[in-house]
Structure 1
Amino acid sequence: MFATFAPPPQLSGLVRMFWAFEHEVPGNTPYVYRSMADGCAELIFHYRNRFSPLSGTEGAGFSHLHAQTSRYSRFLTHGSFGIFGAYLYPTAVPLFFGHSASSVVNSMPDLQSIMGRDGIDLEERIITARFHHQRVAILSDYLLALLSRRKPANGAVQLAVQTILRANGMVNIKALAGSISLSTRQFERNFKAAAGFSPKLFTRIIRFHRALDAYGQYDGNLTGLAYECGYYDQSHFIHDFREFSGYLPREYFLGRPEGIEYRE
């Protein structure tokens, strides 16, 4: 079971959605989940069982911030599990936690390390809640309280991030910088602080995610999919897909990728 929940309007510019992923695994059977490179961050709470990292990252607590990442990671658990999370727009990280996004990319800090005692209390409330709507309310209230303590975000960079997301990464960086009256160098510096990655790397990851969304609809035309996702040729598409997922495209679309149940 994979379900999504809309954030309250006050958080809609920072939280893409809340989600829950539950899966029944027979007995104590090993289950491997693979997380892909992602330009967005997630707050994650394991309320039933938990995963241990197999590769690509460190840490294995019940709750953590899975920051923006340019690489894939693999995680192992035994038996059935339940996870609740908040999928955050990139610029949410500095607003909520007071860290530049670039300082936490490719990491998974536990909540206590970034929130102090509040992180421990929040983890306990989320994990012990009986229903997902309660978890949504608890986390929404907490994030709204955090937001009230922070300075407003850089509106120009937020607009740029949203523009890239809406265009599935198919944008001209120089033209985008000019549209918000910044030089390319200024834009890159501000963008990296707020969103974690350079605009170029961010757009590559977002194009990759456009390709991931084709799972279950792939018709075997790899060249057509590459062009549809904004790649100039098949070789660049294959390179990015393998770098960000660990799979060749045909392995992913025609095989049985790890942890794919949430897309089915």
Structure 2
Amino acid sequence: MRYETIPPPPHLAHVIRFFWMMEGEAGYTHHNMADACVEMLFHYRGRFDEIENNGERSSSYTAGLHGATHVLRRYTIDAGFSIFGVYFYPQAIPLLFSLPASELTNVAVELSYLLKSAGIQLEEEIMAASNNRERCSIICRFTEERLAARHTVELPVFSAIRHIIHNKPDTSIADLARQYYLSERQFERQFKQYAGLSPKLFSRIIRFQAAASFYKRDVMSLGSIALECGYYDQSHFISDFKTFSGLHPKQFFSGHSGATDWRE
């Protein structure tokens, strides 16, 4: 399996974290874990099925948007596949789609439903593109046009969201609110509108994602990872990790769970 990322142009780095692509030549089951950010996905070769809680399979979309989520899902395909993804900051939902981010929390929606004819056109352009660099250009143009149409103003809460993502939750919610000149109530309300989650839950998921990123690094104990990521203790780390991944961290870091196949 092949996975790679492409950085966005600097003028869009406040909205797009990165582009990514993944492809494989055999069947694959993907474990979708908790994620504080937003992904737009295009399955330009092959179509995955979602595995429901009862074990049955239902067809997934070929182009869609995933909001921030703490719900675990699994997707599977029995043949080769290619996926192009756009990893957005969560405020991309209100900025690009004119919806509160909270409306898409734990939701995966088809682009054709979300954007109507514009979504269909975007999907057709991505599918017809000859390579992923061209797909990046198409998404950049789409993002520029949507931002320009809405005369976007950079709000302080956007910086707070990015601060938590890039610095792990190293600052209390009260301190963040003061830092961005908002009352705690204002901060919590704006944060949920633009991130889709409460600041506390968002921070917990970011801390979990930071811990998961230690996969395949130099050998570290669970206690060391917990300390590095700011957990109170190892039991707190294990509890959150199981909640947001469905796996004990020992199972995850062993590389034998199937949940890390794309990281190999």
TM over 0.5: yes
- Residue aligning to 1:142: 142
2:29 is matched by which residue type in structure 1? V
Distance 1:222 1:9 in 2: 36
Q: 1:180 offset after TM fit, Å?
A: 1.1
Q: How many residues align?
A: 260
- Residue aligning to 2:118: 118
Name the SS for the 2:30 alignment partner: strand
Structure 2 residues without counterparts, runs of 5 or longer: none
Map Cα deviations across residues 23-66 of structure 1 (whole Å, 9 max, x no partner): 121xxxx4210111000000000001011111379861100001
> Among residues 6, 21, 28, which one is paired with 1:31 in the alignment?
28
- Residue aligning to 2:12: 11
Change (3 A) 1:259 1:128: farther
Structure 1 residues without counterparts, runs of 5 or longer: none
Distance 1:84 1:181 in 2: 38
Q: Do the aligned residues in 1 keep the contact of 2:37 with 2:90 (CA within 8 Å)?
A: yes
Distance 2:44 2:249 in 1: 33
TM-score, with length taken from structure 1: 0.94
- Residue aligning to 2:163: 163
- Residue aligning to 1:214: 214
Q: 1:220 offset after TM fit, Å?
A: 5.0
Q: Do the aligned residues in 2 keep the contact of 1:101 with 1:192 (CA within 8 Å)?
A: yes
- Residue aligning to 1:21: 22
Distance 1:52 1:143 in 2: 28
- Residue aligning to 1:242: 242
**Does the alignment pair 1:41 with 2:38?**
yes
TM-score, with length taken from structure 2: 0.94
Q: Do the aligned residues in 2 keep the contact of 1:174 with 1:184 (CA within 8 Å)?
A: yes
Change (3 A) 1:58 1:193: farther
Distance 1:260 1:88 in 2: 22
Distance 2:153 2:194 in 1: 8
Change (3 A) 1:59 1:111: farther
Q: 1:91 offset after TM fit, Å?
A: 1.0
- Residue aligning to 2:131: 131
Change (3 A) 1:59 1:230: farther
- Residue aligning to 1:186: 186
Q: What RMSD, in angstroms, separates the aligned Cα atoms of the two structures?
A: 1.7
Q: Do the aligned residues in 1 keep the contact of 2:252 with 2:259 (CA within 8 Å)?
A: no
After TM superposition, what 4+ stretches of structure 1 lie above 3 angstroms from structure 2? Answer: 55-59
Distance 1:167 1:263 in 2: 22
Q: 1:169 offset after TM fit, Å?
A: 2.2
**Does the alignment pair 1:51 with 2:48?**
yes
